[in-house]
Structure 1
C-alpha cells in the first residue's frame, strides 16, 4: 500500500487501515524480527506504481554509491515511481539517523539503505517501518530485526576468500599483509575481514602469510591515504594491502603509485574499473574485484518494490522478478543475493565502464 495515500486518511481510519494491512512486510507491534511471519505474499501481484523511493548510502560523493543510485533510479523509473538520492558526506551512523527520520516524516514508501552501523540505526528504522516504510538494506546490513530485507552483493565468506586468494597469488602466499577497511562498525567490512582471518588461521596454503594490522579509513579519501602511509611506515616488511572498500583502494593506489613501495607492495581489494583503471595501467595494481554496483542498486529497488507491492514478504523461498536482472529467491533472514564478484585486471578492465 502506498504510504503517501495513508497519510491523507484521518487518524481513526488510518488505524483501521493499518490494522487490516497484516499482509505487508512491516514488523509486528513489538518491533518485529525481520520479515513478518503472519504476512501473506502474492507472487502474481503487479508492481504498484506511484511509490516513492529514497536511497540513503553510507556517504554521498562516492563513485560506488553513485553507480548504485543510477541503477536504482533506472529501476524506479521503469516501475513508475519517484526516486530520491540523499545522504551525509561523512560515513557515520549518527549522520544517517537524521536522514532516516526526515525520510520517514516525508512518508517515503521504500527506503534503500547502506548502513554505517548494524545497530545504531535501529530505533529510527523501527519508527519508519511502524509508519509504513519498507526498509531494504543493501551493501551493508543492519540487525535483521530492524529491516524487511537485505540485498547482499555476494556471500560474505565468498568475498573474503576471493580477496585472500588474489592476495596470495600476487605475493606467492608469503609475507606480511594488512587490511585497510572503511568504518570499524560496517557490517559488510567486518564480515569479510572475519572470513579472511578464519581462512588464514585454518588453511595451510596461507601458513606463511601473516595479518599484521587492520586500519580504518572511514571511507574518507584523505584519511585512507594517510592510513596507507601509516601502514607502510609501521610495517617496513609489508608485502600486501587488502582494501575491501572502493574509497580505500583508490586512495591506497594513489599513495602507492607515487611512492617507493610501488611494485614492492601488492594492493588488491574492491574497486570500480573506472576509478582503478589508471592504477592497473601504470602497474600499481595487478588485480582487484567487485560486483556491478549499478546492478546492486537496481536489484535493491526491485526488492523494495516487490515488498511494498505485496509480491514478497521477505520470507525464505519467496521468488520475484527484478526486471532485466531476472528471477531472484529470498534466502534465510530475508537476504537476496546479487551474485559472485568479477575480477578486474589489465586483460579485461577496458571491457567495463562503471
Structure 2
C-alpha cells in the first residue's frame, strides 16, 4: 500500500467563523474586510462569491458587484482559537501533520485508514467531526502525495471529498486550466497561454522543454513531474528548534512582485551572513508570509543537501513563494533555515562518502607541509615549494 495523504481545507474559514459568532449572518453575502488603507476583501462567504466577490478584491469593487454585501471586521484571536481546534482534531488521527496555513493542513493518513473498513470513512468522519464539534466545513483531498491531495481538495467545495490517484491524472487533472495548477502563478499563466499551454495536460505533453525553462528555471523538472501526478515533497511536522531566520514588516503592504523579490534577496543575504558568522548550515528552508489582514502562511521544504549561501537561500525561498503564496497584499516576509549543523561537520560527512581523487599540485604541497612540521616557517615552506618547482 502506498502513502495516503490528506489535504484538509476549511471552507471560507473567516466568513464561517464570523457566522459562528453571529448566526444571523447565515445564508447572507458577507465578507471580512481587512484594515488596510487600500480597503481589500480578506475572504467572502459562498453567497458573496456567487456575485464574483473574492479575496484580495478592493472593497469598493466588491460593493459594486454585490450592493447587499455585509462587511464585517475580522476577529483574529477567534480565528486562531478555531484553527488550533482544527489542527488538534487532525492530530488525533495522525502524528504526521503539517499546518500549511491557518485554515489548511496536510496529514499522512497511511496508517490511520487501516483502522476503517472503507478508506474514505476516515475522511467522512473527520469532516463530520469538524462540522458537529466546531461548526467548521471542510473539503478533503485524498492522494498519494501532497501535490495531488492539494489539487483534489480544490475540486469539490464546500464539503467535498475527492480521491485523486496517479492513474486518474489524465482524466481528472489534465483537463483543468493551467491557471488552477498549484505552482503556476498569475504572472506565469499568461506566458504559458501564449505558448499554447491552456491546460495541465498541455503542460504535461509539451515537448519544447527549453522554452519551459525560460519560465520555470530550475523548477522546470519539478513542475513537469507534478503535471504528471508525481511529487516527492515531504510532510514537515514541526518547525525545528535549531532555526535561524530573518524577517521584516512593511509600513505599506506589498503587492509588486519585483519589490517582494528584492525583499527575499535582502533577507537571504542577511541570513547567509549570520550563518557564516556562526559557522552554520541547514537543509530545511522556510518562509513566513503575513497578509494585510494579519493572517499568515508558512511554507517549508527539506533539501537533499545543506546550504548557507545567499544565492541558495534566495532561490529556494523564492521558489516556495512562487509555488504556494496567493496574490494578496503582504505586510511581513520571513525567511528561515532549520536543521542547523556546523559547516565543518557537514563537510566531514560528505567527504566520507566521496571517492578518493588525485590531489592537485597545491594540495600536494599543503599535505607535505603538514607532514614536515606542525608549524613550518616561511623559509621551510619556500624550500619545499622551490624543490617541487
TM over 0.5: no
TM-score normalized with structure 1 length = 0.30
TM-score normalized with structure 2 length = 0.28
Higher CA-based Rg:
2
